[in-house]
Amino acid sequence: MAGRPLSLFGKSCAVLRLRRGKKVQSGDLREGLAVPAERSLWKFMQMFCHTRMFLRVRRIHKFHFLQVIVMGLALSVLMVCWDSLLEAGRDYHYDFINSSLMVTRQEAQRFANHQYLINHQQKCSDEDVLLLLFVKSSPANFDRRKAIRATWGNEMYVETQLGVKTKVLFALGVSPHPHPRRNREVQRQVLRENQRYGDLIQQDFIDTFYNLTIKLLLQIHWKHAHCRHARFLMSADDDIFIHTPNLIRYLQDTARAGARNFWVGRVQYRTAPVRQKESKYYVPPEMYPWPIYPDYTAGAAYVMSGDVASRIYRASLRLNASLHIDDVFMGLCAAAAGVAPRPHYFFSGEGRSPNHTCLHSQMITSHGHVEDVRQLWDEVAAAEAQKQAPGLLGRIYCSLVKLGLLCRPLYNGFSCRMTTLF
């Protein structure tokens, strides 16, 4: 019986029977209710009916709200686990190396044996070198090189503050400017720069996008010839930022663990060749007939151990280096040498990485920094000087910040996954 009055009230929203037995529609109730008690009943009925309608609408809204929440959670899980799904997915097992890529040793030497215009064979004469860092730079990028020397590429800072020896060199070709007079002026400035700093390695190939593989060979062959004892080799673009203290600590830990077969960076999984001829990434099927490339690390920044560098060097002596996409060629050499890349989730992708102090404690490289490289370095150096661990609230705050920064749709900087968020 307790539920009966509510049921009757519900039915009375459309039709109400008054004491006199007259059936009155809800629109006529104001005229039929003369007694104050009946007026009160009318107000109560109005409120009751409106409440029922509101609750009915709210139920629908709650249902849709739950749908949105569930879909959001599912997308978040997918975003966080996407890299893991790619890693765990079945890899293609093509024989990536066949006669279309293999060349004779003499033909391979044609790509690698460019004449040195500037060389420093004794640059790496120290025995105890943890890292040989090559920065790929264009001849006219004087300001970028100057900023790197003053910030993350400062060898003296690494030796005095971090206690290890690194060697930083800039890999250059010759100026590609269409006017010879401008090229001669750029080359004169490059020679003066080299006299002052002594950290340029230059060969006589034209420094363009289509010769990046030749620049990769410069780095690999120079290490083999002049710095074979360095524990690690790193290749980096001149528009990235490297958190040198984090990098050095990471490599020290890796070296203590006896690193071999070590090749890390932002891994590109199962990337398809570009077949549109208007693209600068175009690769004709005659050169590369397969539908995917072997896994490789993005060319902006990656690190390999000394044994891997030696194996890449030997593989490069057998492969056709006319494939101009340097990071793909690196992947082909690695596939021929039996080396697979490992992902490091704080090597950034092609997207510009956000600058926030919550990311500084973990980041290794950050892409797209030219104008603000000095500001970033000042922030990193200040944080290193203080070096205090955040408390519980600080860790929770930073996890929420990273969730908002890294888990945005279509963001291609640091990976959105559990290891980067917490």
Of the given ranges (85-89, 109-113, 366-370, 405-409), which has the lowest mean pLDDT?
A: 85-89
pLDDT of residue 417: 65
Distance set, CA 180 to CA 143, 183, 189, 212 (Å): 22, 5, 14, 22
Check: CB of residue 406 under 8 Å from CB of residue 80.
no
Check: CB of residue 367 under 8 Å from CB of residue 349.
yes
Going 73 to 76 to 82 to 88, the CA torsion angle's sign is negative
Confidence of residue 253 (pLDDT cuts 50, 70, 90): very high
How many CA atoms does the CB half-sphere of 375 hold within 13 Å? 7
Check: CB of residue 13 under 8 Å from CB of residue 26.
yes
Count CB neighbours of 82 within 10 A: 13
Query: Residue 409 pLDDT more than 60?
Result: yes
The DSSP secondary structure of 68-120, one letter per residue, reads: HHHHHHHHHHHHHHHHHHHHHSPPP-----STTTB--HHHHHHHH-PPEEE--
Which residue has 């003499």 as its token pair? 106
Indicate the SS3 state at residue 304: strand
Which tokens go with 329? 């060629």
Question: Cα–Cα distance between 169 and 145 in angstroms, integer?
Answer: 10
Which tokens go with 205? 């190939």
Closest CA to 217 of 122, 119, 134: 134
Distance set, CA 13 to CA 19, 21, 45, 184 (Å): 16, 17, 7, 92
> Which one has a higher pLDDT value, 149 or 360?
149
Question: Cα–Cα distance between 160 and 25 in angstroms, integer?
Answer: 91
Query: Tens digit of pLDDT for each residue in 336-395?
Result: 999 999 999 889 877 677 777 787 788 899 888 888 999 999 988 888 877 766 777 877
Confidence of residue 105 (pLDDT cuts 50, 70, 90): confident
Indicate the SS3 state at residue 143: helix
Query: Tens digit of pLDDT for each residue in 130-142?
Result: 999 999 999 999 9
Tell me the pTM: 0.77
Question: Cα–Cα distance between 276 and 270 in angstroms, integer?
Answer: 18
Query: Residue 53 pLDDT more than 70?
Result: no
Question: Cα–Cα distance between 208 and 201 in angstroms, integer?
Answer: 16
Domain extents for the chain?
Answer: 4-69, 105-343, 351-421
Closest CA to 111 of 175, 176, 204: 204
Query: Residue 215 pLDDT more than 70?
Result: yes
Mean pLDDT of 173-195: 96
- Fold for the domain defined by 105-343: Spore Coat Polysaccharide Biosynthesis Protein SpsA; Chain A (3.90.550)
Question: Cα–Cα distance between 312 and 330 in angstroms, integer?
Answer: 8
